[in-house]
Amino acid sequence: MRISYTEKVILHCLTKIGNQRTIFSILHLLNGKKTSQTIQDAHLFHLTEFFHLFPRLQRNEFTEIYKRMEKVNIIIEKENLSFKLTNKGQKIINGSSNPLPAYVNGWQYHRYTARFWERLSLLVQVVSQLNKQNQRYIPIQTKKEVHYWLKSLLKQLKWKREDLAKQLFGELSALLGKDESIRPILLVIRLSGYSKIGLTAEQVSDKLRMNEDEYHIHFLNILHYMIQQVEKSRTEFPILQQLILDDDHSFSLLTKSTSKTYQLLQQGLSIDEIAAYRNLKKGTIEDHIVEIALNIQDFTIDKYVSQFNQQQIERASKNVSTKQLKYIRQSVPGANYFEIRLVLAKNGIR
């Protein structure tokens, strides 16, 4: 039996999550929903690469997909909206491993992927036009901030316009040629320049006869590959490394609001003080702290959970095979939900 690419992705997530969460937690994961529940699940179930891979997947589309899989008996409902693979489903998935190509990492890169593409596509177009000394063209990206970024970059780079094109070409072909398993054509075909306008994603998948979702993931794979490689050896790519530099330093793993909370924590403010200072609910600040614990390796949670409770919660989460909070809560009556989430968050990345 043939299943679609998206179905493969969903089934893979389902093998990890099982019936411990509802099937919609997979939708939230693929959408990249920024709630502490979803972020935590991504870590607990080792599905961080899947985070934010399909930000535009709609609830009704998702429902259609899982209903179909239920109908053809690949998955079966265990209890209220939580599902398991059937034997038939197991057989299908056994033949194939993780459906994602090697470099995709949604959690790590989702925040810069779109911007990286916007910058790259505009840079290539503008450099190509400069090379031809043509000023009459319509920029392919409309966002003002990308234009500001490019303007200051061009001021900063020391190459002459004809050398600039050569340098950029050199960097791109070296980077993309290093590992051709990424299939560079899938990205290059989207680029626009003096003589040619790039294709839309729909057009590429049409021309290359690829499933649209599968193409989208392979496109992300190339972008994530590029970000990763450039991060690793910045000096090799003097122009491309500019694509991952950031003007407001938010190229960090935290959302903006959480970074602010983090700053205030480092200044020694308590949760209540921060809530009052920022005019936010206490629960929101607690969500921030869970996010910080997930992302900042050396963040210590001792201030918020006693050593005793930490041990109790860790033990309970191991004994109870399920990771549902309410079962842990039942076996550690002395801990509240915030403390449990925080401990799980800290353990999730270990």
Name the residues that contact other proteins, by CB under 8 A.
124, 127-128, 131, 135-142, 144-145, 165-166, 168-169, 172-173, 176-177, 184-185, 188-189, 191-200, 202-203, 206-208
- Locate all alpha helices (DSSP H) within the chain, ordered by sequence: 5-17, 24-31, 36-44, 59-71, 87-94, 106-131, 144-156, 161-177, 185-188, 201-207, 212-232, 256-266, 271-278, 282-295, 307-319, 325-331, 337-348
Q: CB nearer to other proteins: give 77 or 145.
A: 145
Nearest distance in Å: CB 240, other proteins: 13
Q: CB nearer to other proteins: give 45 or 149.
A: 149
Nearest distance in Å: CB 32, other proteins: 17
Nearest distance in Å: CB 210, other proteins: 12
Report d(CA 81, CA 70) in Å as an integer: 11
Q: CB nearer to other proteins: give 172 or 305.
A: 172
270: tokens are: 């308590």
Nearest distance in Å: CB 135, other proteins: 4
Rg (the chain; Cα; Å):
23
Nearest distance in Å: CB 61, other proteins: 15
Report d(CA 350, CA 345) in Å as an integer: 9
Residue 51's region, left for phi above 0, alpha for psi from -120 to 50, else beta, is beta
Nearest distance in Å: CB 245, other proteins: 20
Q: CB nearer to other proteins: give 188 or 253.
A: 188
Q: Which residues are CB-neighbours of 142 under 8 A, at least 6 positions away?
A: none
Q: CB nearer to other proteins: give 200 or 233.
A: 200
Report d(CA 293, CA 287) in Å as an integer: 10
Report d(CA 33, CA 31) in Å as an integer: 6
Pair 245, 239: CB distance under 8 Å: no
Q: CB nearer to other proteins: give 99 or 193.
A: 193
Q: In whole angstroms, what separates CA 225 from the centre of its chain?
A: 13
109: tokens are: 């890169």
Q: CB nearer to other proteins: give 164 or 294.
A: 164
Pair 227, 109: CB distance under 8 Å: yes
Nearest distance in Å: CB 204, other proteins: 8
Nearest distance in Å: CB 29, other proteins: 23
Q: CB nearer to other proteins: give 177 or 334.
A: 177
Nearest distance in Å: CB 181, other proteins: 13
Sign of CA dihedral 160, 166, 170, 176: positive
Q: Which residues are CB-neighbours of 280 under 8 A, at least 6 positions away?
A: 274
- Locate all alpha helices (DSSP H) within 57-160, ordered by sequence: 59-71, 87-94, 106-131, 144-156
Q: CB nearer to other proteins: give 96 or 203.
A: 203
